[in-house]
Every structure is written in structure tokens, then in C-alpha cells.
Amino acid sequence: MKPMIAVAGKRWGRAAGLAAAAMLAMAPTLRAQEGVITSHAITTFGDDPKYPIDYKHLDYVNPDAPKGGEISEATFGTFDSFNPYTQKGRAAALSSIAYEDMMVGTADEIGAMYCLICETIEYPQDKAWVIFNLRPEARFSDGSPLTADDVEFTYKLFREEGLISFRTVLQEFVETVEVLDPHRIKYTFKPESAPRERIQMAGGLPVMSKAWFDKTGAKLDESRMEPGLGSGPYVLESYDVNQRVIYRRNPDYWGKDLPINLGQNNFDRIRIEYFGDATAALEGLKAGAYTFRNENSSKNWATAYDFPAVQKGWLVKQELKHGNIATGQSFVMNLRREKFQDPRVREAIGLMFNFEWSNESLFYGLYRRINSFWENSDLAATGLPSAEELVLLEPLKGKLPAGVLDQEPAMAPVSGDRQLDRKNLRKAAALLEDAGWIVGDDGMRRNARGELLSIEFLEDDPAFDRVVNPFIENLRALGVDAKLNRVDPAQYTKRVRPDTVNAAASFDFDIITDQFPTGYEPGAGLKQYFGTAGLTDVFNTMGLGDPAVDALIEKVVAAQSKEEMHVAVKALDRVLRAIHFWIPQWFKDSHTVAYYDMYQHPDPLPPYALGELSFWWYDADKAAALKAAGALN
């Protein structure tokens, strides 16, 4: 699976007074006479949050975990920016680490957000508006106070200069933002926006320093090597361009004693080492150049961990179960290209990827096939559409792909033991012939205009060569002129993103590997990945603009209960799968990690996060023993 390490990017007051605080201590929420709810948390569908107002720490952390030491990981490629909120340049790994959101989720609960920068929130039952009461002690890393003016400034910054995905959501949801006093800020939402997502959207925005932007003249939509000023627990310590990045824990971090943070942010330093490719990165682990690796290669996991550090017991090799939805990793076809606009062509191409052979021959049987955009969850569509799903689907009958209403959802094709599955080859050939792609004397397929059916797989990771090349061989046996073009990371980034200067250069690819993270309680974010509104967005890489998909996304967003949401998501899943713009790849339900034996973690881990950079901790005695033995550089 890829990528190796998550790089830049993440999701997106005044004290309530002694009397209110005393009342809040008695219950998770307070309903005042005027019907305003005051709370330390919010959930999507109004359920009580897991953690009450007086919680001491999160259940899955070690509140007594020692602070200290360093953890280091690897990535590969290059970077030329420390601004993760622009399409310009390639941001350094973890470059959003300096920023905090108003509210945050936890790793053991779905659909809940808890106050971080805010102390409480106030909102009416219909969520027409929300007031964030900021913690008076909140500070940026230079010690300057974080105030409502900074929150308002950040909102305007993202509305005017942010990525299209940010601007679209803010314009759709927010009517006005009003500073009430230095530690209180009010968002008023547009009546037509989805009520259940309003507060989470506002609470999920990072907060940046207005004074820093005023002083430096920096812009959000620019590539720059100077990181912005945030309020988070880590700050940039040093970097060597394209070599390494080091972040250090701020000992004066304002929020270190908050219940939401106890037992977290335990390492003094987080170091990211850059390597030329995944093979070089593995060699770096063997040499002790870095200390923690989340292994994404099944071949490496099965065969490459027989080096001295493992044999001597210096390196721990461990599988840790998780409960996450699969990432939706897949080969993605660019629907902007004329040759991919016929669904028969897309289905035929998908038939030629032999997952079963790949899993046995290349992946050592470690993976499971992805079939759904909500794989590994109860949101995945199964069987024939339910009566409730048909209520949503039948009004769209004329806009739906064939089979959605009366067949089981599209599944990834199953292949035989041999690399080239003859049965699927025949099916694919029939589909292409029906679509007008006929085999010529040279064995290659051409359309009525004599154009060759050519497909380029664009990649920047040499580890994928062994996966893509057999796929290409199968496609060539079908008569498709398929080839692999592996480019450097900077060129890859440029080719798969929208180009704001030259629109013709946008999304310059045929097929790439991408991911579609969907979530357990999806909402407006679906528009960024799958909606017509996101056609020029960095997330809608395949260029999907489908009226039935748009309509079903609106049903998901408008759902007022978990039951309604589940029905709408399953209906949407059916339609997305029937369009065949993806060739689903694989996932595993465990983290496969290798690390030098100087770290400890909570046992058991929470279901929705590995958390090695957050709630793991450093064992100084074990580290000293490893260093004495010469295990590390």
C-alpha cells in the first residue's frame, strides 16, 4: 500500500464563567432556557459523546507516558515548501504539524469532536450558528495569544486563498463570521447547508496567526520554505532540503496539560529522513538511519526482514490489528480522456488486472481485495438494493448505469491462478469490440478513426513496477498499447494536479494509483472526491461529474439519522462502483510495523489509529542498551 508516510495535509475562548462551569461539570451538555446548547463536544447525529465534560484523559493513552527521545521515519521524493495548504510546490512531510484545529476527533470514537482551542461551544438545536468560546490560555508557539481575530483571519484566508476544496466548502456553509470579543467567535451558517456538518466543518479548520501573516507579508497560496506560525505541540527545528526534516516538541506548548492531550505528543523530536526510493529507504532502516517503519510492501514484509538487527532482537517486527475502512486505493482512469468515456472500455481494462495472481505471486497472500468505496465497514453495498435504497435510486433511473436497480453491486473481477486469465481476456475483448476497438493485423486495437488504444500508467514509485508490469502484459495480450512511465516525484505531482496557469496541462495522465478515503460518517467532503463541483479539485483525480452521483451525495449530506445516512451511502456506493472509473487494488486489516526496540505503545491500540507519532513513547533504558550495542547510527 502507499504512501509510506502521510505527507503534508490534515483535516481541516473565553471561559464560560464560574456558574456555567459548575453546571457543565454536572452533565455533558447544558440546555439553557433559550434553547441554546453548551458543550465541550459535538457528535454528528446528536448522540452523547463518549467522554463527559469532566474526563481526565482519553481511554487509549498512557497518561503517565514519559516525555523524551526521538522517533524517526522515512519517506522518499523531494520537497521545496513548508506550506501544506497550496498546490504550488511539494510540501515537506508533516509540514502541517505546527497547526491545530479548534476541535479534534479521537481514535476510539466515530463522529465526535472535542474542544481543543475552544473550551466550550454554544449552538441552537437547529445548528443555525455556533459560538466558540476560546481558551484564554491558548498561545501560538512564539508565546503570542491566540484570539478570535486569528480565527476570523484564518477563515477569510482559506475562503479567499485556500485550495478549491476549502473555498468550496466554506462558501457552501458559512454566511458570516463575527468576532464577539477577544475569546468568542460566532459562525452563522447558510440555511441551505447541511445542518449535521456545520459545526464540525467550522471546528475542523486550522487556526493561524494573523500577526505573522501581517508581519511577513506571506500568502496562503504560495510555496515557501518559511513555515507559518501555529499553536501546535511541535515546531520546525531544522531541515536539509530533500534530505531530512526535524520537528521538536515545544516545552512551552500551551495545551500540554489538557485532558485531550494527556499521554500524547510524547517525543522530544520527530525526524523524517528522505530517500531516493523505497528500496533505499529499507536499506536505511537496516543501517539504523531511522527507527520506525510502517511497511507497505508485502514482499518486504515476507522476505526482507532477515537482517542482523532483526536476528539480534534489536528490531521489533509486529502486526497490529486495526478497524479502519480501506483507503480506496485503486488504479484510477482519467475520464477527461475521450478513450475512457465509454464504460465498456473501462470495464475491459479492469478485467485484465489479476489480483488473485498478484496476491499469491507478489504479495505473499497478505492482502484482501477492495470491492467497495467503504470496504471493511457496514456501509458497503451488498446484495440487491433494499427497499429504502430503491426509494433514492428509482427517481434517478434514467441517469443510472445499467444494473444498479436490479443487480448486486459491481464487484472486482475474480481471476484464475495464471497471470493471464483467458476467461476474463475473452470478456474484455468482447467489450472492446462492442465499443468499436477492433484488432488489426499487428494485433493492436484501433477505433474507426484508426487511432491506437494506448494507455500510459504514470508512477513515481519503483516498488510498483512489479505490480504494473504484469498488468501491462495482460493488456497488451488484449491488443492495448499499454506502457509504464515512471517519473520523478516533482513531475508526477505536476502532472496529476490541476494547473492554475495552463488548464490544458491539468490532470495530464491516463491511469494513476490513487486513494479515496471516505469515512464512517461521510458528508460534504464527498463532493470534493466524487462531485461535479470538485471537477477541478486536486481530489477528483478521475474527473467524475455525474448527475446521479451528485444527487446521491446530497442525500448523504442531508441525512438526519445514522439509518438515513447508511441507506444513502449504500446507494451511492452502488452507483460509484457501476461507473467503473477505478480498478480497485487491495488492503489489509492490520498495521505491519518494524521499529527499533526502544518504543512502547498502549495495549490494545485504539481501533482507528496507529498513533506512533502521538501516543507511543520512548523507553530511555532500552534506547541506551541499543546504542551501547551499536544498533543505531
What are 237-259's pLDDT values in tens digits?
999 999 999 999 999 999 999 99
Distance CA 334, CA 512 (A): 8
What is the predicted pLDDT for the residue at 309? 95
The rounded Cα 309 to chain-centroid distance in angstroms is 32
Question: Residue 586, CB half-sphere, CA atoms under 13 Å: how many?
Answer: 23
d(CA 281, CA 93): 15
The confidence band for 1, taking pLDDT boundaries of 50, 70 and 90, is: very low
Look at residue 260 and tell me whether its pLDDT is greater than 70.
yes
The structural domains of the chain, with segments of one domain joined by +, span 18-59+97-210, 330-587
Confidence of residue 600 (pLDDT cuts 50, 70, 90): very high
Q: What pLDDT digit, counting tens, does each position of 150-186 carry?
A: 999 999 999 999 887 788 889 989 999 999 999 999 9
Sheet holding 330-333, edge to edge: 481-486, 454-459, 511-514, 330-333, 582-584
Lookup: cell for 5: 508516510
Residue 167 has a pLDDT of: 87
C-alpha span between 100 and 236 (Å, rounded): 15
pLDDT at 10: 31
Residue whose C-alpha is closest to residue 290's, from 299, 280, 298, 281: 281
Confidence of residue 473 (pLDDT cuts 50, 70, 90): very high
Is pLDDT above 70 for 9? no
Task: Return the DSSP state at 98.
Answer: T
Residue pair 170/190 in contact (Cβ under 8 Å)? The answer is no
pLDDT of residue 28: 40
Cell numbers given for 271:
525526524
Query: Considering only CA atoms, which of 98, 429, 111 is closest in space to residue 235?
Result: 98
Instruction: Please report the pLDDT score of residue 525 as a whole number.
Output: 86
Picking from 427, 461, 429, the residue whose alpha carbon sits closest to that of residue 444 is: 429
CA distances from 236 to 69, 95, 219, 229 (A): 16, 8, 19, 10
The DSSP H or E segment spanning 424 is: helix 422-434
pLDDT given at position 239: 97
What mean pLDDT comes out for the span 349-364?
96
pLDDT band at 467 (very low <50, low <70, confident <90, very high): very high
Dig out the grid coordinates for 617 from the structure: 513513547
Average pLDDT for the chain:
92
pLDDT of residue 424: 98
C-alpha cell at 219: 500568502
The model's confidence at residue 17, banded by pLDDT at 50, 70 and 90, is very low
pLDDT tens digit sequence for 89-135:
899 999 999 999 999 999 999 999 999 999 999 999 999 999 999 99
**Residue 35, Cβ neighbours under 10 Å: how many?**
9
**Cell numbers placing 353:** 488486472
Q: What is the pLDDT of residue 534?
A: 84
Rounded CA separation 212/209 (Å) = 5
pLDDT of residue 8: 30
Are 556 and 579 spatial neighbours (Cβ–Cβ below 8 Å)?
no
Question: Kind and range of the H or E element at 502?
Answer: none
> How would residue 550 be classed by pLDDT, with cut points 50, 70 and 90?
very high
What CATH homologous superfamily does 18-59+97-210 map to? Periplasmic binding protein-like II (3.40.190.10)
What burial letters (b/e) apply to 563-588, b meaning 16+ CB within 10 Å? ebbbbbbbbbbbbbbbbbbbbbbbbb
Nearest C-alpha neighbor of 222 from the set 99, 96, 81, 97: 81
Q: 299 or 8, which is more confident?
A: 299
21/31 Cα distance (integer angstroms): 13
Nearest CA among 199, 254, 206 for reference residue 227: 206
Task: Kindly state the average pLDDT of the residues 265-269.
Answer: 98
Write out 322-370 in H/E/C secondary structure: CCCCCCCCEEEECCCCHHHCCHHHHHHHHHCCCHHHHHHHCCCCCCEEC
Sign of CA dihedral 288, 289, 292, 297: negative
Distance, in Å, from the CA atom of 420 to the CA atom of 352, rounded to the nearest integer, reads 8
The pLDDT tens digits of the residues spanning 412-431 come to 999 999 999 999 999 999 99
If we measure between CA atoms, which residue out of 213, 111, 93 comes closest to residue 152? 213
Higher per-residue pLDDT: 328 or 4: 328
Q: What angle do CA 205, 210, 213 make, to 5 degrees?
A: 105
Residues 602/62, Cβ–Cβ less than 8 Å? yes
Angle among Cα 403, 406, 408 to the nearest 5 degrees reads 75
What architecture (CATH level 2) is domain 330-587? Answer: Roll (3.10)
Q: Which amino acid is at 170?
A: L
> Residue 68: which H helix or E strand, with range?
none
* Helix ranges, 435-580 (H): 465-477, 489-496, 525-530, 547-558, 562-579
CA distances from 598 to 315, 387, 593 (A): 9, 55, 14
pLDDT higher than 90, residue 318? yes
Q: How confident is the model at residue 32 (pLDDT cuts 50, 70, 90)?
A: very low
Least Cα distance to 298 among 587, 584, 75 occurs for 587
Scanning the structure block, which residue is given the C-alpha cell 451558517?
A: 189
Convert the pLDDT of each residue in 185-234 to its tens digit.
999 999 999 899 899 999 999 999 999 999 999 999 999 999 999 999 99
Sorted by sequence, the CB contacts under 8 Å of residue 27 that are 6+ apart come out as 52, 53
pLDDT in tens, 136-148: 999 999 999 999 9
Q: What's 386's DSSP letter?
A: P
Q: Are 217 and 157 in contact (CB under 8 A)?
A: no
Q: How far apart are CA 76 and CA 536, in angstroms?
A: 27
Grid coordinates representing 395 are 427517481
CA atoms within 13 A on the CB side of 176: 4
429-446 burial, b at 16+ Cβ within 10 Å, e below that, comes to bebbeebebeeeeeebbb
Query: Would you state the pLDDT for residue 214?
Result: 97
| pLDDT surpasses 50 at 594 | yes
Output the nine-digit C-alpha cell for 84.
501544506
What are the pLDDT digits (tens) for 275-293? Answer: 988 889 999 999 999 999 9
Given a cut of 70, is residue 356 above it in pLDDT?
yes
